[in-house]
Structure 1
């Protein structure tokens, strides 16, 4: 790993069952290659199960629940999609609360596909330009967002993409924006690299 531009950056991945697995595993791989530390946050301890479109995927261990996790312990958030996951997580008050704290601190949030549903339900689409799976566009507009049909959109601390085919562009931009976070807060992530997020 010669190009660790994100050493010690703690990234919270907010998930429930039914997330599109590739929208988690590919960004995770790229982030870890750059030195980031990835933690899965969900509604309960145990495992969360991904999907490959309409087929069952693999299980992944939850690191902390929404109640346990402190947004102050994280530098960025990743929101994978998946219709089932996106439809469920957007209604979880603790997930909305966590995301609002991240946004209020100016920390980056990267959402792909149905992951943008949580941005809308948390009130973070208001006045922002973003993209998502096309069927979400009316929800995003209804939440005050400007929906556009582009493979990747950056608006301030938000990075959004539409679908798995957009993952290469999504990964490139999320690394760029997360790197900006590292530069904006020198030493902040590195100080936590040894301690890790509290649980």
Structure 2
């Protein structure tokens, strides 16, 4: 199992990157950190700077064809930055076009709103995204983790860091781990 993790250069919620990253590693999977810029990304613990992590590839260098699935960690600034980057949006959309599973937590669904892939889908997120998701044609539910198979791929979503255990236990097997 080879999994792409897409994050912005700054603002990803640290635990929403590191815990799914660890879960993929524990399952024997290969993890690739992809961002819009080379170098390192800066994670946050809510509003406080946390650890930095080296970028493996930029979105310009990456292709969905090389991965079994995509993980979109949250973080308000992370998701807001990604949704304004055409390359990041196209990369996320390419997983839907290829019928590959996508897992998104917390605010990460903003990138999927921008990609135009949520119409007719059911998902959960941080509650403040509810209106954005409904306006994008999705049905929003308040659940720890939700698996939607009513589209071209499996979409696994979760609300917040408190849901990470259930999120990881759901997306890793769906990705083949």
Instruction: Please tell me the TM-score bracket, short chain as reference.
Output: over 0.9
Shift of 1:74: 1.1
**Cross-structure match for 2:6:** 14
- Over 3 Å off, 4+ runs: none
Rounded to whole Å, the distance in 1 between the matches of 2:87 and 2:67 is: 15
Rounded to whole Å, the distance in 2 between the matches of 1:66 and 1:78 is: 14
Task: Tell me the C-alpha RMSD between the 2 structures.
Answer: 1.0
**Cross-structure match for 1:146:** 139
Question: Of 162, 166, 173, which residue of structure 2 is paired with 1:176?
Answer: 173
Q: Structure 2 regions of 5+ residues with no counterpart?
A: none
Question: 2:64, 2:98 within 8 Å by CA — same for their partners in 1?
Answer: no
Question: Of 108, 113, 131, which residue of structure 2 is paired with 1:115?
Answer: 108
| Structure 1 residue 79 corresponds to structure 2 residue 79 | no
The normalised TM-score by structure 2 is 0.94
Question: 2:12, 2:44 within 8 Å by CA — same for their partners in 1?
Answer: yes
Rounded to whole Å, the distance in 2 between the matches of 1:35 and 1:134 is: 33
The structure whose residues are more often strand, as a share, is 2
The normalised TM-score by structure 1 is 0.84
Q: Structure 1 regions of 5+ residues with no counterpart?
A: 1-8, 183-199
Rounded to whole Å, the distance in 2 between the matches of 1:42 and 1:76 is: 16
